Amino acid sequence: MAEENNGGIISSLNRLWNGNGNGQQSTSMEIFSLTKKQRIAGFFLSLFLGAFCFILAFILAPFIVLKAKKFVILFTFGSLFSLGSFSFLWGPWSHIKHLFSLERLPFTITYIGSIVLT
């Protein structure tokens, strides 16, 4: 029973890496691409998580002296979720190229530097 299950898993992995099961070779872009619905859902989910982290951080803002570490962690995750949400819409490589383009480079370095230094 376990060997049959393992054989099914192995054959599925072989089809995934070697082809799509129809005798045609699948490209790596087909395997890692998201549908339009998945990209929009990922964008809104990530944006919602970023907003949620920001809201919790601002709720803790009056207690920043007592709970500074929680504020910093929540604010950092809010920034990362918000920044990463646009990778779902544009694609991660396009988003990275856009962030590190010549006209945006000083702002990107400042923003990422402030996240890292907190």
What is this structure's pTM?
0.66
| 45: Cα separation from own chain's centroid | 10
77-110 pLDDT per residue, tens = 999 999 999 988 888 888 899 989 999 999 999 9
Angle between helices 105-117 and 68-90 (to 10 degrees): 140
**Half-sphere exposure (Cβ direction) of 53: Cα atoms closer than 13 Å:** 20
Read off the pLDDT of residues 19-75 as tens digits, 9 standing for 90 and up.
Answer: 444 444 444 455 468 888 989 999 999 999 999 999 999 998 888 888 788 899 999
Q: Where do we find the tokens 């129809």? A: 22
